[in-house]
Structure formats: structure tokens, C-alpha cells
Amino acid sequence: MPEQLDPESVLREVAGLEGRIEELRRAAERPDSDARATLDAALVELELAVAALRSVGGDHSGASGRAAAAENERRVLKTVFTDAPVPLFLLDRDTGVRRVNKHAADLLGTSTGYVSGKQFTAFCDLATRAPLRSQLAAVIRTGRRCRVPVRFLGRERPVDAVVTLARVWIRGEPDPMVVVVAGPTSTPLDASGDSGAESGRWGRGAAPSAGAGTVALDAVGVAPAAETGEQAGRRTSRAPVDGVAPAAAGDAQDGVRVVESSGDEAVASLVHRMDVLSAVTELLLDEPVFNETVAVRRCARLLATELAEWVFIDLVPQRQPDGTGQAAAVRNGDATPRRQVVMGPEEEWAEDAARGLAAADPAPGMLPWTVFETGHSALRPHAEELDLLGSCPDGRPVLSTIGATSVLCVPVTDGDRPIGVITLAGRGEHGPFSLLDLSVCQRIGRYLGMVIRASRMYRRSAAVAESLQASLLPRRLPEIEGLELAARYTSATDGTEVGGDFYDAFPAKEGWGLVLGDVVGKGEDAATVTATARHAVRLVSRWKTDPREVLATVNETLLTEDRFVTAVFAGIVRRGEGVRVTLGIAGHPPAIVVRGDGVILTASRGGVPLGLFEDFDPGTDTLDLAPGDTLLLHSDGVLEACDAARLQFGQARLLETLAAHAGGSVDDMLGAVERSLLDFCDGDLRDDVSMLAMRVLPPSLN
């Protein structure tokens, strides 16, 4: 046991300590100072101070003496620990941080209050943690000092250091504690491989910055590194956090240090985040048609480029496995997010890891699951629990596998409810995530949610339109002896409404009837007129044979409608080995005949659309088709499709395509026209396209 000291002796000891520490401080400020020697001396002084505290006995002092001793103890702690010119940490037996001085907090780029109470190893990168834990355990058990190289996760960038660990016994504490003194590395660990830094200095680019509101470690001869604009842009400023009230940001962790940045730093920080938000908006909306898959992947790629090494996006599928809608599932509490995208660094090991993590959906207990259920964002600047994102199939925590030490998680909302979660994980190479990062990601979560909502509404509308459109077209074309039929229908690119195109093939009073028409406009009203026109032609053809009479009767039926219809009707009657086609035209593009020898003819045009005038007079024509000849009916959407320069596809291109594929089957011919059309307009069809073709088969194929 150390010698017992009376209060007067303690006062002398404290005075001596104060003088020697002041000398150490002045020595450390000299440009030629030996930082390692200064650290060793500071640790010796700390041990002497602890010994002095333990030696204060009760046998030599009364009540007044004990009070004076207590006051002296506080002075010793303040002088030796708080004002020491080096970063000091005091750890309990379980390596939790009991106290830190200001230099230690500045080293990490945070506040003393944030560091206290957390695991010391949480402020080190993953490669450092395991050996550091072992050395801490050895120091507590044996009492021998040791030096350990570490990489602290600083606010702007990792900080390479060597820490000296020493066991101490403090009066009133049942267990030993560990004092950690952080000093610069003698061999810089900078990733650039530059080892030209002076011995005893911090590695190049690794020194903690000395911006406004912080204190540089110049007391140990460390010159503050100049910040670039980009580094300043990532510095946390005291800007308001959108959507996160300070008192309600519990998940946004109380300890993220919000420092008072200089004007330039604050502007750079906000500009960087505004650039990210602007880029997200542009990427998400740069589509003529909302596409959920494209939006999610674009968002993940941008975040992985600008804010984090790893990005996970989990979403509730639009439809659940039982077929129920996503909105109903969320209301009933049955919705579960599924992993949609995982993006990491463009490295082989990361790509392998991403493939495995893509199949790992969030589960109860994981941070993304909690954020989804509560709808509240979460920020873990220094992740102490490595299983926040679950475990890999091999049992290792996800954070250990990807080397992440900082995690941020925000909900994706559609305006009413959470529909997913965005999770960012970083290695700390640019500092831990901050409240401003959280604010940016919260906005991105809302933007992405709105795009997803629009995409799903669009898809539902498109599905309804497709279903209704299908009900207006024959499920299959009839099989007619001696004839080959084929049809194609392609909806407009923004096909959220029912189109007005229709076609049909049906038995007539004599032979067969073919009809193809186009109702002006789109939507449910157009669908009603489409159904009326199609079924009226079928019905009238049962008891009238002349196309003029058929179309005239249909015209009377449509006069009460608010829309008009263009159409072409063909009556088909067998004539020996060929057929005779009688055409009735109501303001529609003319029919086309492709002869078996490749010659192409166009039938007559004329007439007025159906449903406009009581005095109706259609155009007519009669064609005789031999075996091998093909009749093509088509809508005006074929001719009026445009490219980016607004040049129309036109009849000339249509005829050229037909001639080039006249030797193929009827279905192949229509497929060639469809491909040529889509290539011409780069997939952007502004109107529906419908085609109906009939070929007379040779006798040997009948």
C-alpha cells in the first residue's frame, strides 16, 4: 500500500503536479518536442496522481481534513485528467468509457458526453477492434502496460494512432480501470502508402482538423490539416434537420456532435447535400413512364456513390404472395419488406457479398425492420452492436462482413404509410454518418416513396386498361379453311387508359367478315363505343351481306354516342381456289394487298367516319385474292408513329417492310412490321397500333 498522506502533503503533491504538467504542456508546444516522451511523462504523472488519491487516509485528518482532501481530489482530477495536453480515456473493466478529456473528444470529432458510456472499441475500425479487446483484457489481468496501433473513426476521416494502455486502481472502485493515452503513430498508416511523415507525427491526412468549434491536438506538436472543400462539405453543421425534432431524434442518437462550423464549411456542407437531392430528383423523374425498378436502382446507385459504401433498399411488394394488394396488407399489418437492391463497392469480394445479402430479407429485431414498423428514422454513428443488420448464412454479423461501422436507416413512405426502408452502411472512411446525412436520406426516402406510389398506381391503371382492352378484342382468331389469319395489337407507351382500336373476325351471312376500327379518344367512354361498334358489326353481318349496308346500320347505332369511329369492313367469300373481298371503308386507312409474287397494291380509300352524320356514304372496293395473296388491315397508329425528330413512319416504310417479309408466314410479317415500328420510334408509341391480316393458302395446304 502507498504511504498515507495528510491533507497538507496532498496539497504539496497537487501543487507539484500542476507545475510539472504545465512544463509538459510548454514542452509539447515546442516544434522540436518528442511527442512519445511527452505521452510517457503524462502517463507517469497520471499514475502519481492516482497514487496520491489512494493515499489520502482518514487516520491523519478529521472532518475538515476529509473535506479538504475531497476538494484536492477534484483538483487533481481536473488538473491531471481534464487538462492533460494529450487525449485520455478512462475505461471500466468492461472497456466502457467512463470519462474522456477534451482532447480525446476532439480526436474523435465529437463531444465528451457522446463518448462517455459507450464501448471504447466502437470508435475504432473493425480491423482494430479484436486485437484491441485482447490487449485490454491482458492489461486488466496482468497490469502490464502495452502499446497498440489503432485506427480511430474520426469525424472527417480515420485517424491512425498508437494507444498506451495502463491498469489503475482508483479508491472507491471495486475493480481495476484502464487509462488509455492516445498518441500519433510513428509509422503512418495512411492508405496512400506515404511514409514520409516525421516520426512521432500523425499520418498524412489523418490529423483531426481544427475547424471552428474544435481544438487541434497542437499541444503534442500536431499541426492541423487543411480541409478541402469536399471535406468541409461533409462536416456536420448546426443546420436544422428536416423532419427530425432535436428532442425526438432519439434514434438519431444524442451524441452526434453538432459543431458550429464556419460560414464556408456550412455552405459547402449544404451545397453538397443539395446537389445530392437535386441529382436524386433528376434521376427519379427522368422517365416518361414511372418505373419502380429503375427508380430504386438509380436511387441506390446514387447513394452508394455520394453518401455510403453500402446501400440496402427493402420494399413491401405491390402484391403479397396471397394476391392481396400492398395497401390493404399495410393497413392490416400483414406487409413485410423484401430486399430489392444491395449495392456495395465495385470490388470482387463486395460483389460476392452483395449477391448473398440480396437474398436476406429484414427480420424482426433488425434495425430496418424496426424502422419500418415504427416509421422513425435511426442513426447509429458508431455501431456498437454488429448484428444491427442481421447475420450472414455463415453466422457472421453483416456489419463485420462488409466492414461497416456506421449505420443510417430511414423509412420509404408513400405519403400515408411506410412502404419500405433505405439503409446506408459506411466504413468510416469519410467519418460517421451525421444528422445532416439523416436529413438528406429522409427526403430521399419520401421522394422515392412518391415515385414508387406513382409507379404502382400507373401499373394498376395499366393492368386495368390491359384487362379491359383484352375484353374488347377476340381471345383468339377463328380457324377458317383455306385461310391463314394473324393479328397484332400494341398499346401506346403510356397505356394507362383503354385504347380505341379494335379488330374482329367472325362468320357472316355469306362467308366471313373482317373488321378493324379506331374510336377517337381513350378511356372508359371510348371503350364503351369500341364495344358497341365491334358487336354491332358482328350482329348486322348476320343478316346483311353488302358492306355498305352493314356500315350504314352501324352508323345509325353510333349517332347517339359522343365519339366517332373510323373502320374498314371486309366481306370474304370463296371463289374457286381464291376469295373475293368486298370492302366498305369509313374514313379509315386503305387496306393493303401483298401478292404472292411480292407485288403490293393498296385498295381504295374514302367514306366518312361512323357516328358523325345521318347521311352516311362509305367508300367501297372489290378485290380478288389468289392463293399466296395477303390482305392487311391496319390502324392509323402504324402510319403516324413518330421518331425523335417527329418524322412519321408513313406508308412507304410500311410497304417496304411488308415486301421484305412477304415470303414468311402472316404472323412473321406482322411481327416484322411491329419490330420495325418500335425501332423507328425507339419504343415510344404515342397511339395504339392494331393490324389484322388474312392470307389465301395454296390448295395443297388447305
Q: What is the CATH number for 407?
A: 3.30.450.40
Count Cβ atoms within 10 A of the Cβ of residue 484 and give its class: 0-12 exposed, 13-18 middle, 19 or more buried: middle
372: left (phi over 0), alpha (psi -120 to 50) or beta: alpha
Are 496 and 381 contained in the same domain? no
Q: Indicate which CATH number applies to the domain containing 122.
A: 3.30.450.20
**What is the C-alpha R_g of the chain?**
40
Residue 393: inside a domain, yes or no? yes
Q: Which of residues 463, 489, 510 is at a domain's end? A: 463
Comparing C-alpha atoms, which of 325, 637, 670, 335 is closest to residue 464?
325
Cell of 511: 362467308
pLDDT digits (tens, 9 = 90+) for 621-644: 999 999 999 999 999 999 998 988
Question: What is the DSSP annotation of 301-356?
Answer: HHHHHHT-SEEEEEE--SB-TTS-BHHHHHHTT----EEEEEE--SSHHHHHHHHH
CA distances, 162 to each of 28, 85, 152, 507, 571 (Å)? 17, 16, 10, 92, 94
Are 412 and 490 contained in the same domain? no
> Nearest 10 degrees: CA dihedral of 49, 55, 58, 62?
-40
Q: At what angle do helices 7-29 and 63-76 cross, to 10 degrees?
A: 10
Residue 693: inside a domain, yes or no? yes
Cell of 194: 506515404
At residue 291, the pLDDT reads 72
How far is the C-alpha of 623 from the C-alpha of 570, rounded, in Å? 10
Residue 235: inside a domain, yes or no? no
Comparing C-alpha atoms, which of 206, 181, 200 is closest to residue 86?
181
Q: Which long-range contacts (CB under 8 A, 24 or more apart) does 388-397 make?
A: 389/312, 389/423, 389/425, 390/360, 390/362, 390/363, 390/366, 392/353, 392/356, 392/357, 392/360, 393/356
How far is the C-alpha of 78 from the C-alpha of 105, rounded, in Å? 16
Cell of 435: 444528422
Are 493 and 388 contained in the same domain? no
CA distances, 10 to each of 42, 295, 535 (Å)? 19, 69, 109
How far is the C-alpha of 416 from the C-alpha of 439, rounded, in Å? 19
Helix (H, G, I), strand (E, B) or coil at 182: strand
How far is the C-alpha of 156 from the C-alpha of 107, rounded, in Å? 10
Comparing C-alpha atoms, which of 180, 196, 219, 194 is closest to residue 35?
219
> Is residue 631 within 8 Å of 581, Cβ to Cβ?
yes
Q: Residue 365: enclosing H or E segment and its boundaries?
A: none
Are 446 and 490 contained in the same domain? no
How far is the C-alpha of 301 from the C-alpha of 299, rounded, in Å? 5
Question: What is the DSSP annotation of 500-559?
Answer: -EEEEEEE-SSSEEEEEEEESS-SHHHHHHHHHHHHHHHHHTTT---HHHHHHHHHHHHT
Are 668 and 693 contained in the same domain? yes
Q: What are phi and psi of 525, to 5 degrees?
A: -65, -40
Residue 237: inside a domain, yes or no? no
How far is the C-alpha of 593 from the C-alpha of 695, rounded, in Å? 10
Cell of 572: 370474304
> Is residue 593 within 8 Å of 603, Cβ to Cβ?
yes
Q: What are phi and psi of 483, to 5 degrees?
A: -130, 150
Q: Which of residues 463, 483, 508 is at a domain's end? A: 463
Are 518 and 453 contained in the same domain? no
Q: Which amino acid is at 669?
A: M
How far is the C-alpha of 60 from the C-alpha of 334, rounded, in Å? 72
Are 254 and 221 contained in the same domain? no
CA distances, 572 to each of 384, 511, 547 (Å)? 80, 6, 11
Flag whether the pTM goes above 0.85: no
Helix (H, G, I), strand (E, B) or coil at 639: helix
How far is the C-alpha of 628 from the C-alpha of 630, rounded, in Å? 7
Residue 1: inside a domain, yes or no? no
How far is the C-alpha of 560 from the C-alpha of 555, rounded, in Å? 10
Q: Which of residues 193, 225, 257 is at a domain's end? A: 225
Are 433 and 525 contained in the same domain? no
Q: Which amino acid is at 366?
A: M
Low-confidence ranges of the chain (pLDDT < 50): 1-5, 57-61, 186-262, 320-333
At residue 207, the pLDDT reads 36
How far is the C-alpha of 169 from the C-alpha of 139, rounded, in Å? 12
Q: Which amino acid is at 231?
A: Q
Residue 342: inside a domain, yes or no? yes
Domain range holding 518? 474-701
Provide the domain count of the chain: 3
Are 496 and 570 contained in the same domain? yes
Comparing C-alpha atoms, which of 186, 191, 185 is closest to residue 157?
191
At residue 86, the pLDDT reads 85
- Pairing type for strands 310-315 and 418-426 reads antiparallel
Are 648 and 691 contained in the same domain? yes
Q: For the chain, what's the residue count?
A: 702
Cα end-to-end distance, the chain, whole Å:
115
Residue 17: inside a domain, yes or no? yes
How far is the C-alpha of 344 from the C-alpha of 380, rounded, in Å? 19
At residue 639, the pLDDT reads 92
How far is the C-alpha of 75 from the C-alpha of 64, rounded, in Å? 17
Are 540 and 418 contained in the same domain? no
H helices then E strands: how many in the chain?
19, 20
Residue 233: inside a domain, yes or no? no
Are 75 and 213 contained in the same domain? yes
Cell of 653: 416504310
Q: What are phi and psi of 254, to 5 degrees?
A: -65, -20
